[in-house]
């Protein structure tokens, strides 16, 4: 089983700043099959990035993903008020389980 570790657990930033969220895998993620999701309180997660760097439909270009192997990054170039939420990474490149990271909470400073 691939274990995903997200850092930091909590990130405190102000609107307009740049956010960098990390996701580390215990083993190499095959073919960069890694996704990022955003979840706001009381709502289902929303797909932001798939295949490590491809933006999902309708996702603003301030969101970008990068990385390969065991190290992946979600970058939000300029934070908007609606971006403060919890972010999860998930790998789907190996045999089940298709694991999620424990999440990074992005909060307003």
Partner 1 sequence: QLQLQESGPGLVKPSETLSLTCTVSGGSISSSSYYWGWIRQPPGKGLEWIGSIYYSGSTYYNPSLKSRVTISVDTSKNQFSLKLSSVTAADTAVYYCARHAAYGPIVVVPAAIDYWGQGTLVTVSS
Q: Measured from the CB atom, is 13 or 47 closer to partner 1? A: 47
Minimum separation from the CB atom of position 16 to partner 1 (A): 28
Q: Measured from the CB atom, is 28 or 39 closer to partner 1? A: 39
Minimum separation from the CB atom of position 71 to partner 1 (A): 19
Q: What 3 state SS string does the chain have?
A: CCCEEEECCEEEECCCCCEEEEEEECCCCHHHCEEEEEECCCCCCEEEEECCCEECCCCCCCEEEEEECCEEEEEECCCCHHHCCEEEEEECCCCCCCCECCCEEEEEC
Minimum separation from the CB atom of position 44 to partner 1 (A): 4
- In the complex, the residues that contact partner 1 under the rule CB under 8 A are 1, 33, 35, 37, 43-47, 50-51, 56-57, 88, 90, 92, 96-103
């Amino acid at each position: 089983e691939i274990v995903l570790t997200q850092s930091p657990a909590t990130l405190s930033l102000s609107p307009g700043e740049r956010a960098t969220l990390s996701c580390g895998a215990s083993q190499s993620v095959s073919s960069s099959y890694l996704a990022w999701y955003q979840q706001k309180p009381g709502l289902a997660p929303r797909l932001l990035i798939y295949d490590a760097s491809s933006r999902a439909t309708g996702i603003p270009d301030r969101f970008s993903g990068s990385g390969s192997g065991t190290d992946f990054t979600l970058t939000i170039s300029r934070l908007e008020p609606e971006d403060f939420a919890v972010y999860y990474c998930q790998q789907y490149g190996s045999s089940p389980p298709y694991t999620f990271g424990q999440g990074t909470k992005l909060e307003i400073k």
